[in-house]
Protein backbone atom coordinates (compact mmCIF):
# COMPACT_ATOMS: atom_id res chain seq x y z
CA UNK A 1 0.00 0.00 0.00
CA UNK A 2 3.03 2.30 0.17
CA UNK A 3 2.78 2.87 -3.59
CA UNK A 4 -0.76 4.15 -3.10
CA UNK A 5 0.31 6.54 -0.36
CA UNK A 6 3.29 7.77 -2.37
CA UNK A 7 1.12 8.32 -5.43
CA UNK A 8 -1.54 10.23 -3.52
CA UNK A 9 1.00 12.41 -1.71
CA UNK A 10 2.98 13.13 -4.87
CA UNK A 11 -0.09 13.98 -6.89
CA UNK A 12 -1.44 16.22 -4.15
CA UNK A 13 1.89 18.04 -4.06
CA UNK A 14 1.80 18.51 -7.84
CA UNK A 15 -1.72 19.98 -7.61
CA UNK A 16 -0.57 22.35 -4.88
CA UNK A 17 2.28 23.51 -7.12
CA UNK A 18 -0.19 24.11 -9.95
CA UNK A 19 -2.27 26.16 -7.52
CA UNK A 20 0.74 28.37 -6.87
CA UNK A 21 1.19 28.78 -10.62
CA UNK A 22 -2.48 29.73 -11.01
CA UNK A 23 -2.05 32.58 -8.53
CA UNK A 24 0.89 33.87 -10.56
CA UNK A 25 -1.06 33.54 -13.81
CA UNK A 26 -4.03 35.39 -12.34
CA UNK A 27 -1.75 38.29 -11.45
CA UNK A 28 -0.39 38.38 -14.99
CA UNK A 29 -3.86 38.28 -16.53
CA UNK A 30 -5.19 40.91 -14.12
CA UNK A 31 -2.42 43.33 -15.05
CA UNK A 32 -2.93 42.67 -18.74
CA UNK A 33 -5.02 44.97 -20.88
CA UNK A 34 -5.16 42.44 -23.66
CA UNK A 35 -8.41 41.43 -25.25
CA UNK A 36 -9.54 38.06 -23.95
CA UNK A 37 -8.56 38.80 -20.35
CA UNK A 38 -12.01 37.84 -19.10
CA UNK A 39 -11.96 34.52 -20.96
CA UNK A 40 -8.54 33.68 -19.53
CA UNK A 41 -9.72 34.48 -16.00
CA UNK A 42 -12.71 32.18 -16.55
CA UNK A 43 -10.39 29.42 -17.75
CA UNK A 44 -8.19 29.89 -14.68
CA UNK A 45 -11.24 29.70 -12.42
CA UNK A 46 -12.33 26.52 -14.17
CA UNK A 47 -8.89 25.00 -13.62
CA UNK A 48 -8.98 25.92 -9.94
CA UNK A 49 -12.35 24.19 -9.59
CA UNK A 50 -10.97 21.11 -11.33
CA UNK A 51 -7.94 21.15 -9.04
CA UNK A 52 -10.19 21.23 -5.97
CA UNK A 53 -12.28 18.37 -7.36
CA UNK A 54 -9.15 16.31 -8.04
CA UNK A 55 -7.84 16.92 -4.53
CA UNK A 56 -11.19 15.75 -3.15
CA UNK A 57 -10.98 12.60 -5.27
CA UNK A 58 -7.44 11.99 -3.98
CA UNK A 59 -8.62 12.32 -0.38
CA UNK A 60 -11.47 9.89 -1.08
CA UNK A 61 -9.07 7.44 -2.73
CA UNK A 62 -6.84 7.58 0.32
CA UNK A 63 -9.64 6.02 2.36
CA UNK A 64 -10.15 3.03 0.08
CA UNK A 65 -9.37 -0.28 1.76
CA UNK A 66 -8.50 -2.93 -0.74
CA UNK A 67 -5.70 -3.13 -3.29
CA UNK A 68 -8.23 -4.08 -5.99
CA UNK A 69 -10.30 -0.99 -5.23
CA UNK A 70 -7.15 1.17 -5.46
CA UNK A 71 -6.25 -0.22 -8.90
CA UNK A 72 -9.74 0.64 -10.15
CA UNK A 73 -9.66 4.15 -8.73
CA UNK A 74 -6.08 4.88 -9.76
CA UNK A 75 -6.77 4.43 -13.47
CA UNK A 76 -9.59 6.99 -13.39
CA UNK A 77 -7.49 9.37 -11.31
CA UNK A 78 -4.54 9.15 -13.67
CA UNK A 79 -6.78 9.96 -16.63
CA UNK A 80 -8.37 12.92 -14.84
CA UNK A 81 -4.97 14.25 -13.77
CA UNK A 82 -3.59 13.87 -17.28
CA UNK A 83 -6.56 15.83 -18.67
CA UNK A 84 -6.04 18.48 -15.99
CA UNK A 85 -2.35 18.85 -16.82
CA UNK A 86 -3.10 19.23 -20.52
CA UNK A 87 -5.66 21.96 -19.85
CA UNK A 88 -3.38 23.69 -17.36
CA UNK A 89 -0.50 23.78 -19.85
CA UNK A 90 -2.84 25.13 -22.52
CA UNK A 91 -4.07 27.95 -20.27
CA UNK A 92 -0.52 28.68 -19.10
CA UNK A 93 0.60 29.06 -22.70
CA UNK A 94 -2.32 31.36 -23.50
CA UNK A 95 -1.52 33.60 -20.54
CA UNK A 96 2.14 33.81 -21.51
CA UNK A 97 1.17 34.93 -25.01
CA UNK A 98 -1.10 37.78 -23.91
CA UNK A 99 0.46 38.94 -20.65
pLDDT value, residue 2 = 66
pTM to 2 decimals?
0.75
For the cut 80, the answer to whether the pLDDT of residue 35 exceeds it is no
Q: Averaged over 33-57, what is the pLDDT?
A: 86
pLDDT value, residue 76 = 87
pLDDT digit string, tens, across residues 43-52: 999 999 999 9
Instruction: For residue 40, give Cα distances in angstroms to 21, 65, 72, 75, 83.
Output: 14, 40, 34, 30, 18
pLDDT value, residue 86 = 93
User: Shortest CA distance to 19 belongs to which of 88, 96, 98?
Assistant: 88
Q: In the chain, where are the structural domains located? A: 2-98
pLDDT value, residue 83 = 92
Under the banding of pLDDT at 50, 70 and 90, the label for residue 34 is low
Amino acid sequence: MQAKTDYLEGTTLQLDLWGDQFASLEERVASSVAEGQRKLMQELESLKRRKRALKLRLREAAHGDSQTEWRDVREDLEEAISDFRSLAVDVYDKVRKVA
